[in-house]
Each structure stands twice: as structure tokens, then as C-alpha cells.
Amino acid sequence: MLFPFPPSAAAPRIVITGAGIVTALGIGWKPNAEGFRAGRRAFRPVSLFDVSRQRAKVAAEVDLPVTLPQTTLNARQTARLDRAGMMLLLAANEAWRQAGWESTENLPLVLGTTSGGMTLGEAYFRQALQTPLRKRRQPTRAVYYQAQVQARTVLDAFDSSGPITIISNACASGSNAVGHAWDLIRSGQAECVFAGGYDALSELVFSGFDALQALSPTVCRPFDARRDGLALGEGATMITLETLEHARRRNAPILGELIAYSTSIDHHHLTQPHPQGDTTLKVMSQACATAGIAPTDVDYINAHGTGTVLNDSSEALAIGRWAGSRATTLPVSSTKANVGHLLGAAGAVEAVVCLMALREQWLPTQGAFESPDPACNFPIVNKPRDARINVALSNSFGFGGVNATLIFRRWT
């Protein structure tokens, strides 16, 4: 039953046993880990749609494979997947295989996305206007455009079933999805949850950010004094979360532990953060309180760091206020400089970047950075280097004001 809830017991420890990642750096843990470690940038001229009349011309596009992995989806279902659905399936397959999960009837799936199958929606709109009497493929587009249908396809791919929750808190969606999965396990509603985020590049969204003049016409350089905007990317991440007890029962490999999640709302403006970063400070502080740690215990921050003037100054001020004197030695980077802003996938992808850093003991290198913004009193990681990392924190903020923080601990 979704309600009443099971009797509350002591909150279990929650670990991650599988992670799948798809970005413009590649498909899978290995190419992404190598890319994030080296600070590789994955932008190129947009080829998916016409950007000749846009200010910005580049994005981090994913090269999809010709064939999708073997799952229990039938040919019809596979053929109906759009770009976003394919990336989601690729990420889910990697995480599922790595975790060694088996098909089950009650596996909660929590996804974050901002636009689901938007490219299908765009195709529907075009055809409905340009050839209004033509019906071909329109019903399929209308169904597969919806995020819950893409989510359902993921469960079908692994012959599983369970409650599906789609969180669409704009660019915080991916972090909220991972955090909500953590909440479900902590509250005793589930022992295992499949969670992640995904979004594909689409003409509407690209045009939207371009219309807002939020896209960089040069190079996306988060926290740089000369930053002039964000760059868009696309991708997907799925992770398998389970109680430590469950993972140990299965002798599952553990990638890391999720020790805190916090979320709150910034009322300041629909698209602008509070200039002093009040809400960011609040969620970072709340997450630390939940984890029972102090800022001095945090070894790395994967910042939201979009590269826009307003976001980065607000987040920089918040990090400075939160970390105090620790800020001057606390490594921070924004991997959006490498793979772009993945919107609904961003928080989940950045969670996996944190897991990579914790597992392999290096700092994710920000792909572009020259001179720091005066608001930054922390070092930006812009050169590859190994480091001893026990705790990593990831920030995500969205249009509409939802802020979210996740904290991960190294598993040894």
C-alpha cells in the first residue's frame, strides 16, 4: 500500500550498486570517467536541428550506437524509442547489469526529466500543422512523448514492474529523483529503487535557452570572471540504490554510499536564484546536518555551475558562506563545462561523477576555466589530479527555484 506507511524503523544505510551513464563523452562508466578525469570537453556544432538563426551553435550531442542492448523489449517497443528513450535504456542497462539485479514485481522507478520525449512532441506538432489530415505515426508520438511511457519501457526492458514516479523540478529533477529514491528506502517503503534522470537535446529547449540569452555564444566557463552563459548537452544516468543489508545479502559490489539529500524552494524568481544564495546555503546546510558532517568533512563539490552570470555568483556566495574558512581549500568544479547542462539528467549524471571521483580517487576536472569570478573564494579544479576523497557533495538548482543537494561517501 502507498498509504498507510509501514511502521517506521531505524533508517537503513543506502548504497549504490550499479551506475549507468550516457553523455557526449561516451556511453558507459569508462569513457565518462576518463573524460571527466581529464577534463575533456565534448561540444560540437549542433547537427540534430537547424541552429543557423540561433545565437549559440554548439551543444554536447551524444553519439548513439546503431544497435541497442538486448533486453526483454520486443522489436516494436525498441523501434518506438526516441533519442531520450534510447539514452535512458542504455544507462538503465549498464546500471542493471552492474548491480546484478533480477526481474521483480515491485521495484520503484524514480526518474527526473524536464522534457521526456520532446522530440516526438515536436514531430507531432509539425505534422499536425503541416499536413493536418495525415495521421500516420501521430498516435505513437502522442503516447511515447510522455515520460511515464518511457519509464514504463525501462521496467519492461528488465521484465519488471513497480510504481513509477516522474519528478519534473526542471534542472534539479535528476537530483530530486535520486533523493526521492533515498527517501523511499529510508522510510521503509522499499528496499531497492531504480533511479536516475534523462533528457535529450530538442529544438524547443535549445531555442528557449537561446531566446533567454542564457546560452554562451563563446565557451561555457562556469565560475569564470568572463563567463557568458551555459551550453546544453544531453544524456541519461540510472543508478541502483538499495539498503546496505540488501546489497550485502547479495554480495553486490558497492560503488558508494548516499548519506544525505536535502531540497528546498527559492521563491526569489522563476528563472533567477536568490543573489546571495540563501536557499542554496539552506539545502547544503540541511544535507550536512542529515549526514552528520561539517563542511570541513567535504572533500569535493560538484557545483550546479551552469556558467550563467547569475547562477554562478549566487552559488559561489552560498558555498563561501556555507564552507567558511574551509572554502579556500575546498576543490569545486562544474562538469557542465565538459558535457553541457543536461537539464533533467544533470543532477543524476553529476551524482555518478561524484561516485567516480570517490571510487577512483581523483577530482573531476572542469573543462574550461581561466580566471575566477571575484565571488569564488574556493579553488576550481581545472587540471587533472588525484586526490583523497571520502565525501563528495553535489548541488542542483532548477527553473522555478527548486534546490537540491546530495552527499555521497566513499565505500571502502
Partner 1 sequence: MDVSRIVIAGLGAVSPAGWNVAALREALAKGEPLPVQSVERPGWQKPLRARLVPNPVPRPEFLAHPRLRRTSPVTHYAAAAALEATACLRASPEVKRRLGLIVCLQAGCVQYTCRFFDETLKNPATASPLLFPETVYAAPGSHIAALLKDVTLVYSLVGDPASFLQGIALGAQWLEEKRVDACLVIGAEELNWILADALRYFDRSAILTSGAGALCLCRENEVAAGVKLATITDAHTYSMHRNRNLAARNMRRQLDGGTAGELLYDGLGGSPRADEAERTAWKDWSGVRLSPKRILGEGLMAAAAWQCVAACDAIANGRSTAANVSLVGSNQQTIGARFVRTSPSISHLSASGDAGNIPA
Q: Which residues of 19-43 are buried (b: 16+ CB within 10 A; e: fewer)?
A: bbbbbbbbbbbebbbebbbebbbbb
Q: Are 36 and 353 in contact (CB under 8 A)?
A: yes
Interface mask toward partner 1 for 215-234; x: CB under 8 A? --------------------
Q: Tell me how far apart the alpha carbons of residues 290 and 155 are, in angstroms, rounded to a whole number.
A: 31
Clarify whether 171 is annotated catalytic: yes
Residue 123 binding partner 1, by CB under 8 A: no
Q: Tell me how far apart the alpha carbons of residues 283 and 288 are, in angstroms, rounded to a whole number.
A: 9
Q: Which H helix or E strand runs over 36?
A: helix 29-38
Q: Tell me how far apart the alpha carbons of residues 60 and 41 are, in angstroms, rounded to a whole number.
A: 8
Clarify whether 304 is annotated catalytic: yes
Residue 181 binding partner 1, by CB under 8 A: no
CB of 38 to partner 1, least distance (A): 33
Which segment (150-158, 190-198, 227-235, 318-326) binds partner 1 by CB under 8 A? 150-158
Q: Which H helix or E strand runs over 236?
A: strand 235-243
- Interacting residue with partner 1 among 9, 10, 45, 53 (CB under 8 A): 53
Catalytic pick from 171, 192, 288, 354?
A: 171
CB of 384 to partner 1, least distance (A): 35
- Please tell me the total number of residues recorded for the chain in this structure: 412
Catalytic pick from 180, 246, 274, 304?
A: 304
Residue 143 binding partner 1, by CB under 8 A: yes
In the window 247-276, what residues touch partner 1 (CB under 8 A)? 263-265, 267, 270-271
In the window 86-115, what residues touch partner 1 (CB under 8 A)? 106, 113-114
The stretches of 214-365 forming alpha helices (DSSP H) are: 244-249, 278-291, 309-323, 336-339, 346-360
CB of 206 to partner 1, least distance (A): 8
Residue 4 binding partner 1, by CB under 8 A: yes
CB of 348 to partner 1, least distance (A): 16
In the window 273-292, what residues touch partner 1 (CB under 8 A)? none
CB of 299 to partner 1, least distance (A): 28
Give the residue with the Cβ less far from partner 1, 106 or 296: 106
Residue 33: helix, strand or coil by DSSP?
helix
Pairing of strands 391-397, 385-386: unpaired
Give the residue with the Cβ less far from partner 1, 135 or 248: 135
- Interacting residue with partner 1 among 30, 47, 102, 187 (CB under 8 A): 187
Residue 193: helix, strand or coil by DSSP?
strand
Q: Tell me how far apart the alpha carbons of residues 17 and 98 are, in angstroms, rounded to a whole number.
A: 7
Clarify whether 246 is annotated catalytic: no
By CB under 8 A, the count of residues binding partner 1 is: 74
Q: Are 177 and 343 in contact (CB under 8 A)?
A: no
In the window 64-83, what residues touch partner 1 (CB under 8 A)? 72, 74, 76-77
Catalytic residue ranges: 171, 304, 341
